Amino acid sequence: MRLSLPSALTPGGTVTNGSGPEGEPSRRSALLNAIDRFGDYWVLGVFVIMVLVFGFLSPSHDLFTRASWLNVSQYAVEFLLLAIGQTFVIITGGIDLSDGAVLGFTGMVAGVVMQSLLGAHANVTLTTVIGFATALLLGAAIGFVNGYLITRFKLPPFIVTLGSLTAIGAGATPLINGGNEVINLPSQIGTIGQTLIGGWVYVPVLVTTVSCVIMGLVLHRTRFGLRTYAIGSNNMGARRAGIGVDNHLVRVYMISGLLAGLAGMMVMANFTDASPLAGQNDELNAIAAVVIGGASLFGGRGHMLGTVVGTFIIALLVTGLVLVGVSGSWQEVATGVIVVAAVAGDQVRLRLGER
Amino acid sequence: MSCSTDGVIPESAASGTGTPVIAVRGLAKHFGRVQALRSVDLDVHKGEVVGLIGDNGAGKSTLVNILSGALQPNAGTIWLDGQPVTFASPLEARHAGIETVYQDLSLAPDLSVWQNIFLGREKTVKGPLGLVGWLDRRSMTREAEANLDRTHIRIGSVNSLAGRLSGGQRQAVAVGRAVSWGSRVLLLDEPTAALGVEQQETVGELIRSVSSGGVPILLVTHNLPQVHRLADRVAVLFHGHVVADLRCSDVTVDDMVSWITGAALGTERHAD
């Protein structure tokens, strides 16, 4: 469609601009843009400082070793995939508390499916493919149910996804395979988890990186991404602009579910088994990563790169605190503090912007 | 009272020049037992600015909501360029050519100016990337710049976030966006309610330049001095009727007030 103001706005003469508050918009916005930009990049500074501090505090600088990188990156994969979907959801002003539970559930279902296919002497590669398809489709289906309930019945995302978290994580998952781990999996699953590319990158890390790049481009460069921001920034305005807000939201929750399904397979590959305990509490790490990365829980703001940095801040916190000999519980405390600080920072920015 | 009007209730579409862009006949709407609109007749012609005034509860918002498709009338017809139309939703009203700028402007504060202008009909690049919705940012920023240049309101950069603009600049973006949809008639709901005096002036000039470009404007407002300055005519809503269709050059602001309060109606009836 062409944008054409000309006939309407040309002949009427000039609209003069007062020299009052509008007189110096450029200086005003330059300052505010600087604040915005600082807000986007301070996490990167935090990350660098953390690397240095943990690096030099750790005995014989263990953090700077390949082993430690492999450790951190493998751990980060588990909730970075969730955080990608969560970024979309949070930008729309919603939240998905169910994605950790979906990770565990899809992994278990796919595990049982593959186990029984192997038991029936099915082709091993085909079995692996079916396993992946099962996890991804199941994840997307759960996302669809979440999105459908949220949009059609106007329910708060917090409540709907909390319900899914409980029903799936505490209810359905433990019923599968008698609540036991599934260990008879196709050998390819283990291969995916153990294969190191160039000695530095596990396959799940590569899969996550590719997902991140693709979804980052979708978020920042496509119509879908722009509308995701618009919905979170002004829901009614987006409706008035003709955007099918409800359908869009359903798709966003489906993305979150799909990526949780993928995460289920990646975690399975890491551990070469499907565990009913997989993914527990991962949703909190994912949400924390997104918020630390600069997303606003009120919607409209967030960045894929910020989410990546936020994820590594949390992964680094865990590994770093272990390396410097601090007990594991303190990692949870530190994560909590950082999340609250990030939300507080977001509030300060909002208030500065309103002035 | 010496108030010369074009007729207390316009009887037909023939009162103006040619077919009205938008004509409303016998529009009625009730909410339960409350009769918000009884029988509203209204014409807006090409190039006109028509003010819609009335006290709180006179039916202004109901009329705006019907014209913008948010509400459906219980009776009556809307004619667009001589064609009867019905709107089941705001989207249908827009597609028919009625563009509404709401009081809240409906801008997304976290999106840039150009993103707001193109929201809902984004341009994508040609080729395979376009199929996945890859945005053509360059052409959209360029067009947004060109169009805002014509409004002569300084936005700074079309990359600025809408939330960072002043009230007048936001209004300019909202009006510019509405006009750029290629609308046949523009509905402005209290466009200057939240603005300072200087910015009201700016928006006033914007309104005049849009209407002189051919797109008629229905201006719903409380600001009587402003509507007196800007509009060619004002329609006065009183208890769900358009009780007067006044030519602004013929009346004073005080005359408008007496129509709004019903005082003029009383004297007219007495005179009859």
Whether B15 and B189 have beta carbons less than 8 Å apart is answered as no
Chain A residue at shortest CA distance from B155: A25
CA gap B121, A77 in Å, rounded: 36
Cβ <8 Å between B119 and A236: no
CA gap A283, A100 in Å, rounded: 5
What band does A355 get if pLDDT is binned at 50, 70 and 90? very low
Q: What is the pTM for the complete model shown?
A: 0.84
Structural domain harbouring A334: 39-55+66-343
Best interface-test mutation with B: which of A1, A2, A7, A17 has the largest number of B CBs within 10 A?
A17
Q: Does A18 touch chain B (CB under 8 A)?
A: yes
Instruction: Note the pLDDT of residue B17.
Output: 59
What band does A342 get if pLDDT is binned at 50, 70 and 90? confident
Cβ <8 Å between A7 and B213: yes
Cβ <8 Å between A353 and B163: yes
What band does A354 get if pLDDT is binned at 50, 70 and 90? low
Nearest to A242 among B94, B102, B179 (CB): B94
Instruction: Note the pLDDT of residue A34.
Output: 63
Which tens digits make up the pLDDT trace of A81-103?
999 999 999 999 999 999 999 99
Cβ <8 Å between B122 and A226: yes
Q: Does A234 touch chain B (CB under 8 A)?
A: yes
In a domain, A26, yes or no: no
Q: Please determine, for residue A251, whether its predicted confidence score (pLDDT) is greater than 80.
A: yes
Best interface-test mutation with A: which of B21, B98, B110 has the largest number of A CBs within 10 A?
B110
How many separate domains does chain A show? 1
Cβ <8 Å between A20 and B196: yes
Contacts of B29 (CB under 8 A, 6+ apart): B35, B36, B37, B59, B62, B66, B71, B73, B74
Instruction: Note the pLDDT of residue A335.
Output: 77
Mean pLDDT of the A193-198 span: 92
Mode of pairing for the β-strands spanning B185-189 and B98-101: parallel
Instruction: Note the pLDDT of residue B266.
Output: 66
Mean pLDDT of the A317-332 span: 80
Alpha helices by DSSP H, chain B = 60-67, 90-96, 113-118, 128-131, 137-151, 167-180, 197-212, 224-230, 253-260, 263-271
Instruction: Note the pLDDT of residue B156.
Output: 79
Chain A residue at shortest CA distance from B179: A5
Instruction: Note the pLDDT of residue A126.
Output: 95
Residues of chain B neighbouring A240 (CB-CB closer than 8 A): 90, 100, 102, 106
Cβ <8 Å between B209 and A237: no
Domain map (residue ranges) of chain B: 1-97+187-192+217-272
Residues of chain B neighbouring A16 (CB-CB closer than 8 A): 152, 201-202, 205
Chain A residue at shortest CA distance from B121: A1
Q: Please determine, for residue A286, whether its predicted confidence score (pLDDT) is greater than 60.
A: yes
Instruction: Name the fold adopted by B1-97+187-192+217-272.
Output: Rossmann fold (3.40.50)
**Highest-confidence segment of A211-220, A284-293, B43-52, B170-179:** A211-220
In a domain, A9, yes or no: no
To 10 degrees, the CA torsion angle through B45, B51, B56, B61?
40
Give me the DSSP letters along A74-134.
HHHHHHHHHHHHHHHHHHTT---TTHHHHHHHHHHHHHHHHHHHHHTT--HHHHHHHHHHH
CATH of the domain at A128: 1.10.3470
Percentage of chain A beyond pLDDT 70 is: 88
In a domain, A75, yes or no: yes
Cβ <8 Å between B215 and A22: no
Q: Does A67 touch chain B (CB under 8 A)?
A: no
Whether A274 and A185 have beta carbons less than 8 Å apart is answered as yes
Instruction: Note the pLDDT of residue A181.
Output: 94
Q: Please determine, for residue A208, whether its predicted confidence score (pLDDT) is greater than 60.
A: yes
Buried b (16+ CB within 10 A) or exposed e, B12-50: ebeebeebbbbbbbebbbeeeeeebbbbbbbbbbbebbb
What band does A300 get if pLDDT is binned at 50, 70 and 90? very high
Residues of chain B neighbouring A224 (CB-CB closer than 8 A): 133
Residues of chain A neighbouring B164 (CB-CB closer than 8 A): 28-29, 32-33, 353
Nearest to A5 among B168, B176, B201 (CB): B176
In a domain, A351, yes or no: no
CA gap A249, A283 in Å, rounded: 19
Nearest to A15 among B135, B166, B202 (CB): B202
Residues of chain B neighbouring A11 (CB-CB closer than 8 A): 209, 212-213
The shortest C-alpha distance from A102 to chain B (Å) reads: 27
Q: Does A16 touch chain B (CB under 8 A)?
A: yes
Other C-beta atoms closer than 10 Å to the C-beta of A343 total 16
Which tens digits make up the pLDDT trace of A149-170?
999 999 999 999 999 999 999 9
Best interface-test mutation with B: which of A215, A231, A240 has the largest number of B CBs within 10 A?
A240
Instruction: Note the pLDDT of residue B58.
Output: 84
Mean pLDDT of the A13-25 span: 37
- Residues of chain B under the 50 pLDDT cut: 1-16, 269-272
Chain A residue at shortest CA distance from B214: A8
Whether A297 and A177 have beta carbons less than 8 Å apart is answered as no
In a domain, A51, yes or no: yes
Q: Does A11 touch chain B (CB under 8 A)?
A: yes
Owner of token pair 């604040």: A35
Q: Does A355 touch chain B (CB under 8 A)?
A: no
Residues of chain B neighbouring A29 (CB-CB closer than 8 A): 156-157, 160, 164
